[in-house]
Amino acid sequence: MMRGRALPYLLVAPAFVFLAVLFCVPLVQTIALAFQTGTGFGLGNFVQMAEDLNFNDAVVNTFRLVGVAVPLQMLAALGMAVMLGHLRAGRDLVLWIWTIPLGLSDLAAGLVWLALLNDQGYLNTVLFHLGIINGPESWLTYETPMALFAAIVIAEIWRSTAIVMVVLVAGLQLVPKEYAEAASVFGASPWKIFLRVTLPLLKPSIQSALILRTVLAFEAFAVVLAIGGRNFPVLVSEAYTWQHFNQAPAIAAAYAVVVMGISLAATVVYLRVLRTPAAQRA
Amino acid sequence: MAGIVIDGISKAFGNTVALAALDLAVADREFVALLGPSGCGKTTLLRIIAGLETATTGRVLIGGRDVTNLPPRARGLAMVFQNYAVFPHLRVCDNIAFGLKMARAERTRIDRQVARTAELLQLAPYLDRYPAQLSGGQRQRVAVARALAVEPALLLMDEPLSNLDALLRLDMRAELKDVLREAGTTTIYVTHDQTEAMALADRIAVLHGGRIEQIGSPSAIYHSPATRFVGSFVGSPPMNFLRADAGRLMGIRPEDIDLVDAGAGLPFRVSVVEPLGAQTLLTGTTDGQVVRVALPGEHVIAAGATLFLRPRPDRIRWMDAATGNALAQAAG
Ligand SMILES: Nc1ncnc2c1ncn2[C@@H]1O[C@H](COP(=O)(O)OP(=O)(O)O)[C@@H](O)[C@H]1O
Ligand SMILES: [Mg+2]
């Protein structure tokens, strides 16, 4: 009897130990580090972090990036997922091509877009040969903030829309087609069917995709660094700078705690706002 | 005007032929039941009429207009789905109102129709619930209410009462018949239940293997089956088919057999007696063939007895034993 009861715990034990050692311990250490000051515990590191010149830019840039990239890629992913649902032949091929960016590392994706967009990049060359520009143009500097921001948003969207799409494609497959059929019999146009039937029934998947994507977008780092360097500070890149260039791990830890707090808050908001009561599920 | 013409409709799913060059004309305001066993193509035909499935060949005309290539929403009909397809994210009242909202009906009309159909289908107490909070039978009634609420000229129903318990089913059957006749709704009603088809329909089309075996009034289907299949599918218990001379089968309904004096008819050895109240059902053998006889309820008969049977001559239906088709009936 004892063995029967203990078995489930024994089975989850390895995962538990793994999480505890590799996740919980560093987490607690990081939080402790963030609140540690010379004399004890306090908010000193956070004050120093907030007084730094780049802090405001990092906060604003991070929220701008999340605020623009996440909605755009949600829309793109929804469109792509619905289009896939209407394909008959070649569906798997299209899905496969669309998910290629998932296989690239963040940094590689950033470097690809850097190669396209820098002053000696492909875009410059093409525009020059077409006679649209007279010589190499720099878009990715602090003098062209809008262009720099646009480039980072595009690269971020290109890199990570596929993961949102995969979640939504899986979600769409869970919605039986009979509901769309019933709606069409009762006079709904394809747009109305999407709005009144597909979208509400897809809400749980949209919620998952949003949480996943928003948390990752708040942690955006390699793509931003590859394209923007220090011209576009975001929270995580600042943490990186404090850790490795300023040799101040406690400030880096404070940044990490801020990012974690924001991600948690965003998750809670999504969980509440996009809640689907059990009674309304498909 | 919502007469329907189904003109040479066939449908194949890969190698499965679900419908084979089927023709059917339903008059405006007529109630036609599609009756047949599971898998004979009833749902497929209904879905083709609704525009949810494309036919392999053939045309569908509604009110004289060729709708073969029109999407469902342009066909002006309502449908009750076999699996209900009631929207899980909408409350019962919003489900019922769905079609009227899509048609941008006035608020007052929507409210009136929701109240009226909910009353009719005994759903009034559940209007604020979600489908997941209803039983299967209640969900099925929501599907019926949603279709009735739009007051369609043409109504397609796919086994709409299949999941109700017996008493409620009887109730709903009568209500439906009344409402649809009053409104003059052209109705195609799919069922595998022959009593339901008999009770409701102006005409019954018996489907078998993707073809219409016979179409006619309930009485014609019952008393003059065109094929052996129709005779054995319609009626409970089904028609008896006894081997006769010259490759013929004698079709006779269990209630069209009389008991006669010893020696005056076919000897019949009773093996099972089922007293059902209104009728007493006998199962036994005559000349090695199984025969069922339905007698008026008052007979008391013991299993093992030997009786003598005489089919009523004017009720005998002669069939070709090889083809299963009815023969010219003069030969009787
Ligand atoms: N989507 C489908 N794909 C393949 N075969 C199907 C499909 N729908 C129906 N069929 C087949 O077509 C035949 C008729 O089915 P259906 O119209 O559902 O019968 P019924 O409603 O009379 O029970 C069955 O043999 C069924 O297996
Ligand atoms: Mg069916």
| Per-residue model confidence (pLDDT) at position B27 | 96
How many C-beta atoms lie closer than 10 Å to residue B19's C-beta? 26
Q: What is the pLDDT of residue A1?
A: 53
pLDDT at residue A183 greater than cutoff 50: yes
The pLDDT of B33-41, averaged and rounded, is 95
Task: List the 63-82 stretch of B: residues with Cβ below 8 A of A.
Answer: 71-73, 77-79, 81
CATH number of residue A250's parent domain? 1.10.3720.10
Decide whether any atom of ligand 1 lies within 6 Å of the B227 Cβ.
no
Cβ–Cβ below 8 Å for A186 and B150: yes
User: What tens digit of pLDDT does each residue of A203-236 get?
Assistant: 999 999 999 999 999 998 899 999 988 889 999 9
Residues A20 and A73 occupy one common structural domain: no
Among B233, B236, B117, B115, CA closest to B172: B117
Instruction: Give the closest residue (by CA) to ligand 1 atom 14.
Output: B41
> Are residues A179 and A192 both part of a single domain?
yes
Residue A91: count of CB within 10 angstroms of its CB: 14
Q: Are residues A69 and A109 in the same domain?
A: yes
A221 in the same domain as A160: yes
Q: How confident is the model at residue A2 (pLDDT cuts 50, 70, 90)?
A: low
Q: Among A142-151, B11-20, B51-60, where is mean pLDDT lowest?
A: A142-151
Q: pLDDT value at position B331?
A: 45
Q: A197-200 long-range CB contacts below 8 Å, 24 or more apart?
A: A197/B87, A197/B89, A198/A82, A198/A172, A200/B89
Mean pLDDT of B73-95: 96
Q: In which residue are the tokens 């392999």 written?
A: B56
Most confident of A116-125, A137-146, B124-133, B163-172: B124-133
Q: Tell me: pLDDT of A53 over 70.
A: yes
pTM (two decimals): 0.86
d(CA B195, CA B175): 16
Domain count, chain A: 2
Amino acid of residue B61: L
- Report whether residue B41 contacts ligand 1, using a CB cutoff of 6 Å: yes
Q: What is the position in ligand 1's atom list of the atom closest to the CA of B14?
A: 4
Q: Give the position of tokens 């996009």.
A: A274
Strand B78-80 relative to strand B154-158, pairing = parallel
For B212-270, what is each residue's pLDDT tens digit?
999 999 999 999 999 999 999 999 899 999 998 888 999 999 999 999 988 888 999 99
**Same domain, yes or no: A216 and A256:** yes
Instruction: Work out the angle at residue A232's Cα, subtended by the Cα atoms of residues A209 and A261, and round it to the nearest 5 degrees.
Output: 45
Q: What is the mean pLDDT of residues B134-154?
A: 95
- Region A1-27: mean pLDDT is 86
A107 and A200 belong to one structural domain: yes
> Which of B62, B67, B102, B144 would best serve as a mutation to test chain A binding (most A beta carbons within 10 A)?
B102
Query: Can you tell me the ipTM of this complex?
Result: 0.89
pLDDT tens across B273-302, in order? 999 888 999 999 998 999 999 998 877 888
Domain containing A38 equals: 1-42
What is the maximum span of chain A, computed from C-alpha positions, in angstroms? 82
Q: Whose CA is nearest to atom 12 of ligand 1?
A: B18
Q: Is the pLDDT score of B103 beyond 80?
A: yes
Interface contact flag, A280 B89, Cβ < 8 Å: yes
**Whether A191 and A267 share a structural domain:** yes
* Partner B, chain A 56-95, Cβ-Cβ below 8 Å: none
Q: Both A107 and A201 in a single domain? A: yes
Mean pLDDT value across residues A187-214? 95
Pair A184, A230 in one domain: yes
CB pairs below 8 Å between A and B: how many?
Answer: 70
Do A250 and A149 belong to one domain? yes
- pLDDT-based confidence at residue B332 (cuts at 50, 70, 90): very low
SS (H, E, C) B286-316: ECCEEEEEEEECCCCCCCCCEEEEEECHHHC
Range name among A56-65, A170-179, B98-107, B320-329 with the lowest pLDDT average? B320-329
Does residue B15's CB lie within 6 angstroms of at least one atom of ligand 1? no
Judged by a CB distance cut-off of 8 A, whether residue B48 touches chain A is no
B57, HSE (Cβ side, Cα atoms, 13 Å): 8
Q: Which of residues A25 and B109 earns the better pLDDT score? A: B109
Same domain, A106 and A48: yes
**Predicted local distance difference test score (pLDDT) of residue A145:** 86
Measured in Å, residue B146 CA sits from the centre of ligand 2 at: 19
Q: Do A22 and A88 belong to one domain? A: no
Residue B169 has pLDDT above 60, yes or no: yes
Q: Which pLDDT does position B330 carry in this prediction?
A: 53
Q: Which of B35, B43, B207 to mutate to test the pocket of ligand 1 (most atoms within 8 A of CB)?
A: B43
Give me the mean pLDDT over the A31-54 stretch: 88
Residues 6+ apart with CB under 8 A from A200: B89
